[in-house]
Amino acid sequence: MSHRSLWRPLAAKLIPTISLGLGVTVFMFAVTYVPQAAVLAIFNGPLAVFTTVLLVLSESSTIFSVLSKNFLIDDALIDTFDGTLLSRDLTSLVSTERQIKPGGDAIAKLGKIISKPFAQFTPKALIRYFIYLPLNFIPVVGTILFVILQGRKFGPIAHARYFQLKRMNKGQKEEFIEKRKAAYTR
């Protein structure tokens, strides 16, 4: 929060991103809440009102994440991540995958990206999502498990740029993630 220059890349995308998030969430509640609540009422009884809210929020979050990362904030996330590393004097790490300009604040120093790290939408992620979706039929516990399992997979994705900059191979990434499994799940 104290490094205001790091806000610039994401601040420029703030209004479109918030609009997308609100639009997706409102649309999902308007279109999917009632049918899903009806189905979940069979399995969850009166708790379906609450578990359906969690389910729709989770679905909205997934759709929002895919759309925003792929169409709105991908470059801003990379700039913010790299700028944060520069502000912590890790120029040598960032310079392995990006040109660095002299002078200015951390964001002003960012030059051309040599390679982008963030994986685009993958069918595997969608398949995994649909495989986990039936967990929501289990009252309360199922929905909580669904959210935890999704977080466990999506948590390490946030560090894709770090893994790239450190030039970690698949085995090194898996070891790094395994040691931090609980933190990634949270």
Q: For 22-37, what is each residue's pLDDT tens digit?
A: 999 999 999 999 999 9
Of the candidates 172, 143, 135, 134, the residue with the CA atom closest to the CA atom of residue 156: 172
Question: Please, which pLDDT band fits residue 120 given cuts at 50, 70 and 90?
Answer: low
Mean predicted confidence (pLDDT) in 3-18: 89
Decide if 154 is inside a domain. Answer: yes
- Count of CB atoms within 10 A of residue 14's CB? 12
Decide if 90 is inside a domain. Answer: no
pTM for this entry:
0.65
C-alpha distance from residue 82 to each of 4, 34, 109, 170 (Å): 15, 43, 10, 22
Question: 98-100 and 110-113: which strand pairing?
Answer: antiparallel
Q: What pLDDT, on the 0 to 100 scale, is given for residue 185? A: 76
Domain range enclosing 9:
4-84+117-185
The region of weakest confidence among 71-80, 97-106, 139-148 is: 139-148
**Average predicted confidence (pLDDT) for the chain:** 87
Mean predicted confidence (pLDDT) in 146-155: 78
Decide if 96 is inside a domain. Answer: no
